[in-house]
Amino acid sequence: VIVSESVDVLIIGGGIAGASAAAELRAVGHTGSTLLVTRELEEPYERPPVTKGLLLGTTRREDTRVHPAEWWSENRIELRTRASVLALDPTQRVATLASKETIQFGKAILATGATVRRLQVDGAQLEGIHYLRAPGNAEALRADIAEAQHVTVIGGSYIGCEVAASLAAMGKRCTVLMQEDTPLERGFGPTVGAWVASQLTDRGVEVIGGITVDSFAGDTRVSVVLTNAGYRTETDAVVLGIGALPDVTLARKAGLLIGDTGGILCSRELETSAPGIYAAGDACEYESVLHGTKVRIEHHEHAAAQGRTAARNIAGIPSDHTEVPYFWTDLADWATLEYVGVSPVWDEEQIHGSLDSGNFIVRYSLAGRLVGALACGVPDELDIARAELATAVLS
Ligand SMILES: Cc1cc2nc3c(=O)[nH]c(=O)nc-3n(C[C@H](O)[C@H](O)[C@H](O)COP(=O)(O)OP(=O)(O)OC[C@H]3O[C@@H](n4cnc5c(N)ncnc54)[C@H](O)[C@@H]3O)c2cc1C
């Protein structure tokens, strides 16, 4: 192989995980040459505003950048956008780009993220059906529904709830269709689910649970959503938020091990099955000391924290990834829910404060031990729960 370029550290993927890894390398004093390659058309940006400010039109695209434009050269990180890594040889430590250039690296971080899960049903190719992952998707949806009266949102998880809230705030009539009975109940349980449903219905959103979408109908553009329960709704547009799939195409092709959740299998230190190659973010499935098992987590702050852990290990500072997973979700400007936790299952829920007042914390326990907490309007109590989770599990 003729090598076009040689770097100490190669970061593949320009999301929050890759961009945070680059920053941490410099923060801990790593001075080696570093190249970040991403297939995105633009420099690394944050995704959370896609369903919030970018959709509402209150956030400008420039404000979603992870680092200011000049940051990259100031920190001597070479950034290459519109560049896809097509192959990775973990033994020779060579990456091949779509442009056919080859890059020799000392160590690498795979931060390839996730892609939206698409609904494969009749009519799925009709116009007016949207998925949200990148800023351009929010802009396309905004433009497409400028004249729309009624938008149908499919999925009752974070994306679905956030989009429904944003659409309601934009004055659109909106229907949420979901398989679960109440929104967000898979993560937070039916009590919080019922509260989220009331937040939405109080603002005019129609929320219908227990429904699976069967097909879409329309001429060239979607005009009807049909479901298993015989429910049929006329619509001007559809937004789907039915989950994401880890992007492990490159890792799989390189022969790296893939875990049970479909992520790139990593150690406690986020090293993949190939020595010197790390993974971070939505694509990473790691042996979590805190969870006591292998997990893959799809949240902004967690992806950033994993990027930092991978960078520290590369810089020669041995670090297990022990950050307590945290995330937030916004319902327009009505409510921000914040969660910390280490288990998707629990057998007891304790509510402090009142759901009606919008200031509460729900503490989730399993076998008498705190495993998670969801807070709305009480950040101090969330911090207490976070500290409790970190010490209880690691001690
Ligand atoms: C609409 C939306 C709203 C969200 N809101 C929230 C929120 O409110 N709170 C929260 O906690 N989390 C939220 N999340 C989740 C959070 O954004 C993700 O967890 C985070 O973006 C993951 O970062 P990442 O760097 O792992 O992956 P990504 O952001 O997916 O970045 C991966 C990058 O790798 C690139 N890439 C992949 N393969 C290659 C290759 N072979 N060659 C070159 N480049 C490649 C991709 O193009 C992409 O740029 C939201 C997600 C979405 C989609």
DSSP string, 34-56: EEEE-SSSSS-B-SGGGGTHHHH
392: pLDDT confidence band, cut at 50, 70 and 90?
low
390: pLDDT confidence band, cut at 50, 70 and 90?
confident
Mean pLDDT of the residues in the chain: 96
Q: What's this model's pTM, rounded to 2 decimal places?
A: 0.97
pLDDT of residue 394: 52
Q: If you ran DSSP here, which 8-state letter would residue 122 be given?
A: B
* Ligand 1 contact, 93 CB (< 6 A): no
For residues 394 and 14, give the distance between their C-alpha atoms in angstroms, rounded to a whole number. Answer: 32
300 Cα–ligand 1 center, Å: 8
For residues 19 and 10, give the distance between their C-alpha atoms in angstroms, rounded to a whole number. Answer: 12
By most ligand atoms within 8 Å of CB, the mutation choice from 112, 132, 309 for ligand 1 is 112
Parallel, antiparallel or unpaired: strands 150-154 and 237-240:
parallel
Sign, CA torsion 312/313/317/320? positive
Q: Which atom of ligand 1 lies at the shortest distance from residue 114's CA?
A: 30
pLDDT of residue 373: 97
13 Cα–ligand 1 center, Å: 9
* Ligand 1 contact, 14 CB (< 6 A): yes
pLDDT of residue 391: 83
190 Cα–ligand 1 center, Å: 28
Q: Which atom of ligand 1 lies at the shortest distance from residue 83's CA?
A: 43
As a whole-number percent, the residues of the chain with pLDDT over 70 amount to: 99
Mean pLDDT of 197-202: 98
230: pLDDT confidence band, cut at 50, 70 and 90?
confident
Parallel, antiparallel or unpaired: strands 102-110 and 5-12:
parallel
* CA distances from residue 296 to 115, 267, 287 in whole angstroms, order as listed: 14, 12, 9
Packed helices 158-169 and 190-202: angle between N→C axes, nearest 10 degrees: 20
pLDDT of residue 229: 83
Q: Which amino acid is at 36?
A: L
pLDDT of residue 2: 76
For residues 203 and 164, give the distance between their C-alpha atoms in angstroms, rounded to a whole number. Answer: 10
Task: State which H helix or E strand residue 154 sits in.
Answer: strand 150-154
